[in-house]
Structure 1
Amino acid sequence: MSISISDLVTVRSRHPEAIAEAAARRPRRPLLDGRGRLLIVAADHPARGALAVGGRRLAMASRADLLERLCLALSRRGVDGVLGTADILEDLLLLGALDGKVAMGSMNRGGLAGAAFELDDRFTGHRPRDIARLRLDAGKLLLRVDYADAGSAATLLAAARTVDAMARLRLPVFVEPFLCRRTGGRVVNDLSAEAVTTAIAVASGLGGTSAYTWLKVPVTENPDDMAAVMETSTLPAVLLGGDVSAAPGTQEAAYESWRKALRLPTVRGLVVGRSLLYPARGGVAEAVDTAVSLL
């Protein structure tokens, strides 16, 4: 699909109301279809300043290229929807690419990648009322906790109140929890079995009800630990897939780890971004079709 940035800019500048109109008439679907599985393509990285893929620092900077990749991914059989910030979801709304798809709004993008305040994951994206107003199907929040950073308490509180607000609106909220630490000035997520287990336990207890809460969890550094880790909660979960290295065997190893984890009883699908949109080898369609086959 060829994307005309000029056409999008014309609509945005002359008819901004077209976004709300497109949202109001968008055909919707249940979060889970008859398969009971979910494959969501993630594209909320740019709003956090995370534009790099592999060794390409600005790989996600071209909006036309990103939208073309997203439209191709959404056109593939078995892809259920997309996770994005307002600007990206609204471009896709205007293009008609979200018809009959799950549209998931990304809620806290304030912890900019590499910033001194990176762990201050403020809710600068979709608010619960925005997700309801635009008839989106779910929201997602990032919950990074550093035991050495007192500011993590404010992040926990904000996340809990957002879980409450989403539950009042009867909207699913996907919580992506990590225990993390700063190493050499960089924020590093701890993917050990103990850390992921603890993060799941903390995330599961947020808010006054967990009725509408899903978990978005990483595969542990040792994939064989996932069975025990996922026994921590009865909340439905999806696996997240980050950037995949171009090193030989890395992409295949990631797919195999997803395949094994998808057999676990609480795991209901995948939310994958850069490794499908910018695969280390092959094209978008091939990477997406491989992910679909894992389900």
Structure 2
Amino acid sequence: MSPDVRDLVRIRAEQPGSIAERAAARRVPAGLTGSTGRLFLVAADHTARGALRAGDDPTAMGNRFRLLERLATALSRPGVDGVLATPDIIEDLLLLGALEDKVVVGSMNRGGLAGTSFEIDDRFTAYDADALARMGLQGGKMLLRIDPDDPATAPTLAACAAAVGDLAAHGLMAMVEPFISHRVDGRVRNDLAADAVVRSATVAAGLGWTSAHTWLKLPVIDDMDAVLAATTLPVVLLGGEVAADQDAQFALWQKALDNPQVRGMVVGRSLLYPPDGDVASAVDAVVEMM
């Protein structure tokens, strides 16, 4: 990679125009699938929402240089098609030369900061559709947590619907990550029961004036058949938290990947911070599944 990560601050301070130049010159992929025939993205948009935990370490993702090193390792492995991240991380990776020929999906709504009273109010504080198109990225991702008891759900729904339409107007993928959520002891918790995941998927699929460019990013649960039967949209699997039993987690992913409706995976902390610390091996194991 070039430049070295130690030079990033200097380049940002002295040559900020380099970011737009690198974006304009980047080689972009021909489509949304790679060598496996599916889409495999590494996710790194957690930090902009203040979610830094990985496994037992509450601030694992807080060291940006270590995060970038792990991302660069993951992106260099055969079978990894690209990355899902916020502007700051994508721009670092651009400067590092790590995004050539990669599918790059920009994270859009990061305003629902983890652990806050306004967490469900997921305002669009990162990319919009115009910026994604201007930067030559392949799509935008949005988080949609539906809390039946929180009125902030309604404006988030409306904002996501508008974003789906704006992305479609540019011919860009809209990746929607929906959940039914509730506050438990003051903290937002996602309901992973099959009926809740099905309900969230059906709501997300109907957002916007067209669903032609919409993909759903859904959690892996035991009853994936019921979840996948709820939609005809392409589905990518959400990797989720770092698991203590990685073998069991991988087995659950493999079972879900056997369904042809699953068009790929988006995995973040589980691969970037595996229990044994071996990023390359964790990534290679998922590529083998796909």
Same fold per superposition (TM over 0.5): yes
Contact in 1 for aligned 2:52/2:59 (Cα 8 Å): yes
Name the residue aligned to 1:13.
13
Conservation of the 8 A alpha-carbon contact between 1:238 and 1:270: yes
**For 2:248, what is the secondary structure of its paired residue?**
helix
Q: 1:31 maps to which residue?
A: 32
* Residues 62-98 of structure 1 deviation map (CA, whole Å, 9 limit, x = unaligned): 1110000000000001000011000000000011000
Aligned length: 289
Q: Does 1:131 align with 2:126?
A: no
Given the superposition, is the C-alpha separation of residues 2 and 277 from structure 1 closer, same or farther in structure 2, using an over 3 Å criterion? farther
Name the counterpart of 1:22: 22
1:234 aligns with: 232
Per-residue displacement from partner, 1:213-246 (whole Å, max 9, x unpaired)?
A: 00000012xx1x1112101100001000111232
Would the aligned equivalents of 1:28 and 1:99 in 2 still touch at CA under 8 Å? yes
Asked whether the equivalents of residues 4 and 64 of structure 1 are also in contact (C-alpha less than 8 Å), the reply is no
Residues 236, 217 of structure 1: CA spacing in aligned structure 2 closer, same or farther, 3 A cutoff? same
Q: Distance in 2 between matches of 1:229 and 1:6?
A: 45
Structure 1 equivalent of residue 121 of structure 2: 120
Q: After TM superposition, what 4+ stretches of structure 1 lie above 2 angstroms from structure 2?
A: 1-6, 33-36
Structure 2 matches for 1:104-183, cutoff 5 A? 104-183=105-184
Check 1:286–1:3 CA distance in 2 against 1; reply closer, same or farther (3 A cut).
farther
Q: Deviations over 1:112-152 (max 9, x none)?
A: 00011111100001111110010011110000000011111
| Mapped partners of 1:142, 1:194: distance in 2 | 19
C-alpha displacement of 1:266: 1.6
The residue aligned with 1:52 is 53
Secondary structure, aligned partner of 1:60: helix
SS at match of 1:234: coil
1:252 deviation in Å?
A: 1.1
| Whole-Å separation in 2 of the counterparts to 1:294 and 1:35 | 10
Please say if residues 241 and 275 of structure 1, whose CA atoms lie closer than 8 Å, have aligned partners that are also in contact: yes
Could you tell me how far 1:33 is from its partner in structure 2?
3.0
Cα drift, residue 5 of structure 1: 4.2
CA distance in 1, matches of 2:227, 2:179: 13
Alpha-carbon separation, structure 1, partners of 2:258 and 2:3: 38
Cα root mean square deviation, aligned: 1.3
CA contact (8 A) 1:109 1:121 kept: yes
- Whether the 8 Å contact between 1:3 and 1:67 is mirrored in structure 2 is no
- Structure 1: which 5+ runs fail to align? none
Q: SS of the counterpart of 2:264?
A: strand
Which among 245, 248, 253 is matched to residue 253 of structure 1? 248
Q: Which residue of 2 aligns with 1:42?
A: 43
Once residues 178 and 99 of structure 2 are traced to their aligned partners in structure 1, the CA distance between those partners, rounded to angstroms, is 27
The 8 Å contact of residues 86 and 106 in structure 2, kept in 1 or not, is answered as yes
Q: Structure 2-normalised TM-score?
A: 0.97
Q: 1:91 and 1:245 mapped to 2: Cα distance? A: 28
SS in 2 for 1:291: helix
Equivalence for 2:260: 265
SS at 1:40's partner residue? strand
Check conservation: 1:2, 1:68, Cα contact below 8 A: no
Q: Between the two proteins, what is the percent identity of the paired residues?
A: 56
* Change in CA separation of 1:48 and 1:232 when aligned onto 2, cut-off 3 Å: same
Q: CA deviation at 1:281?
A: 2.3
SS at match of 1:235: coil
**Does the alignment pair 1:88 with 2:89?**
yes
Conserved in 2, the CA contact under 8 Å of 1:178 and 1:199? yes
Write out per-residue CA displacement over residues 257-295 of structure 1, whole angstroms, 9 at most, x where no aligned residue. Answer: 111111113211110000100001240001000111110
- Aligned twin of 1:284: 279
